[in-house]
């Protein structure tokens, strides 16, 4: 684990974490504090926007999908209030379209959950053309497929027939996939 002495956080080490998963938010806040960040947390888009407006941080980690809206709304406010902010967008539903949207709005990087604190710090501190190293434990291809199917299923309001049509898959095949446990 990297400690605060190893990291070059600059003069302002303020960090805003926005996520509606309370246990994950607490764990990540604790891990980032150990690395030298001055952490502030928010559990919703509204709270994230309020903090971004009142005290714009130097760094931010924002979940894409929150209960009260889209995390990209928080990213926009952050960019307006502090153009040099370094933002990492997290999501459980990794998709190219949302990654492109996040980067266009001003996110520094885009990571799929589960991302650990080391991956997030590497993404936050990567400068210029430096790419952060690849994750130690990336999702398997089966897991990525599972996540995609689950995302489309949720977007179709858990309608199996509509999901199967959109995925160009037989309905019974989809039902068998959905009945199984998620791959690791």
Q: Are strands 14-18 and 69-70 parallel, antiparallel or unpaired?
A: unpaired
3-class SS of residue 98: helix
pLDDT at 133: 61
CB 44 within 8 A of CB 65: no
Per-residue model confidence as pLDDT tens digits over 138-168? 777 887 788 788 878 888 888 999 999 999 9
**3-class DSSP state for residue 107?**
coil
Higher pLDDT among residues 109 and 181, named by residue: 109
Q: Which residues of 134-156 are buried (b: 16+ CB within 10 A; e: fewer)?
A: ebeeebeeeeeebbebbbbbeeb
Q: Rounded mean pLDDT of 79-101?
A: 79
Q: Where residue 5 falls among pLDDT bands split at 50, 70, 90?
A: very low
The confidence score (pLDDT) of residue 182 equals: 65
pLDDT exceeds 70 at position 7: no
Q: What does the pLDDT average to over 62-69?
A: 85
Question: How confident is the model at residue 165, as a pLDDT?
Answer: 94
For residue 92, pLDDT beyond 50: yes
Give just the sign of the alpha carbon dihedral 117, 120, 126, 130: positive
Q: Which ranges in 13-140 belong to alpha helices (H)? A: 22-34, 45-54, 72-81, 96-105, 117-125
Whether pLDDT at 98 is above 80: no
**Residue 113's CB: how many other CB atoms inside 10 A?**
17
Name the average pLDDT for the chain: 82
> What average pLDDT score do residues 11-28 get?
88
**Predicted model pTM:** 0.68
**Is the pLDDT assigned to residue 44 strictly greater than 60?**
yes
Strand partners, 26: none
């Amino acid at each position: 684990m990297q400690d605060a002495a190893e990291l070059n956080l600059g003069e302002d080490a303020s960090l805003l974490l926005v996520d509606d998963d309370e246990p994950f938010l607490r764990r990540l806040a604790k891990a980032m504090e150990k690395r030298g960040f001055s952490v502030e947390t928010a559990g919703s888009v509204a709270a994230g926007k309020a903090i971004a407006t009142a005290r714009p941080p130097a760094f931010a980690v924002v979940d894409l999908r929150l209960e009260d809206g889209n995390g990209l709304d928080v990213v926009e406010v952050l960019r307006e209030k502090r153009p040099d902010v370094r933002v990492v967008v997290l999501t459980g539903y990794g998709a190219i379209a949302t990654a492109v949207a996040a980067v266009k709005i001003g996110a520094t990087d885009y990571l799929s959950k589960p991302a650990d604190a080391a991956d997030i710090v590497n993404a936050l501190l990567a400068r210029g053309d430096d790419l952060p190293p690849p994750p130690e434990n990336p999702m398997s291809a089966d897991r990525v497929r599972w996540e995609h199917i689950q995302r489309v299923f949720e977007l179709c309001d858990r309608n199996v027939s509509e999901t199967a049509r959109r995925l160009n898959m037989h309905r019974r095949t989809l039902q068998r996939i959905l009945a199984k446990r998620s791959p690791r």
